Amino acid sequence: MLNFPFELNGVILLSSASLLFGILAVFFMLGNRVRRTIKRLRFQQTRYIGLGQHVIRFTMAFLWIAVSAAILFLAAFIQSYRNFTKEELVAEVRCVPLQQDGAVAMHFELTPVLAGQKLSPRPFLLNGDQWALEGDILKWDNWLNFAGIHTMYKLTRIRGRYVNFEDEINRKPTVYSLVEREDDPRWRWLYKYGHRLRFVDAVYGNTVYTYPSSENVFEVYVSTSGFTVKIK
């Protein structure tokens, strides 16, 4: 993601004001030119300004408008790119493979991250070849992403996952809930009717899973497309 030592919102605001000022200046000069022409046609006395001065003034004004517009569009493009590619860290995961009585198991530790702050880690024992993290996703319309409103999410479950589907059927699964009430009426309503709202693009469940590792720490992010998992 692109990072700058200054706020792009301020650049967008200043360049917008500068562009508006340039446009108003052009209209003012055009209006002034029309008034002078009318006075001359009526044989009224008016201060003479040469054609060269008019050309220089209009050239400077159009250059001002062009530079302001270029800065505005560039800042808006970069801001929209940052918003559409934004990834918010939602959890840190440590998962170590174990061997218990011949069964495939994992020691899983989840550290939720809320508003950039790490919460208390929560340990779990999982059966399976892979760990999986599940949750709910609310994806806003693109114009809201452009405005800087990020994807809503809710982590709901942790479970162990077997690579072989027969093991999924025959072996004991492990599933843990991360919420007090899984049948949340607000999210249930969004699943049923969210697609009818003009500002909502999609509401769906999302799962990420991967193999445990004794060496690596995993980070789970939410983006405009859902959850992703990366090695720290």
**pLDDT tens, residue by residue, 105-131:** 899 999 999 888 999 999 999 999 999
pLDDT of 140 higher than 80 = yes
Classify strands 103-114 and 117-118 as parallel, antiparallel or unpaired.
antiparallel
The helix (run of H) or strand (run of E) holding residue 53 is helix 51-84
User: Can you tell me the distance from the alpha carbon of 76 to that of 84, in angstroms, rounded to the nearest whole number?
Assistant: 12
Pick 158 or 19 by higher pLDDT.
158
Residue 59's pLDDT is 85
For the chain, the farthest-separated pair of C-alpha atoms sits apart, in whole angstroms, at: 108
High-pLDDT (> 70) share of the chain, %: 85
Under the banding of pLDDT at 50, 70 and 90, the label for residue 3 is very low
Query: In this model, does residue 143 exceed pLDDT 90?
Result: no
- Does residue 4 have a pLDDT over 50? no
Token pair of 226 as six digits: 């859902």
* pLDDT score at 95: 95
If one compares 106 and 29, the residue with the highest pLDDT of the two is 106
Closest Cα to residue 35, out of 19, 23, 46? 46
Weakest-pLDDT range from 29-38, 116-125, 169-178, 211-220? 29-38
pLDDT mean over 35-57: 63
Which amino acid type is present at position 44? Q
Bigger pLDDT: 209 vs 98: 209
